Amino acid sequence: MAGEVYIGTSGWIYPHWGSGVFYPAGMKQSEWLNYYTRHFNTVEVNNSFYRLPERHTFEAWRKSTPDSFRFAVKGSRFITHMKKLNTPEVSAAKFLKNVAGLGEKLAV
């Protein structure tokens, strides 16, 4: 069975990474995703568990990354922990509408 292997981390915005741990010291945080994509071909969007980014944020990430890059989006705790999967239709629809901004870069 042939396939692609994607390797990345859970998130790319960690302040201590900006001190030379991963990102060059002094690099602007707005440049971190671009730098990250030169070393990895996927990333987990971890903050979506705590607060769902707006669709335009997902669209901006899609547009600023290489065609081959993929995003794995962590499900919202609002759906799984707070609502306990009771009547998830509305909140799941909003989640899916927003992450659709990633287009073909949404990893499943």
Please state, in angstroms and rounded to a whole number, the distance separating the CA atoms of residues 35 and 12: 10
Provide long-range contacts, Cβ within 8 A and 24+ apart, for 92-97. 94/52, 95/48, 95/52, 97/55
Contact by Cβ (8 Å): 105, 70: yes
Please state, in angstroms and rounded to a whole number, the distance separating the CA atoms of residues 6 and 34: 17
Tell me the pLDDT of the chain (108 aa) as tens digits.
578 899 999 999 999 999 999 999 999 999 999 999 999 999 999 999 999 999 999 999 999 999 999 999 998 887 776 656 667 777 888 899 999 999 999 997
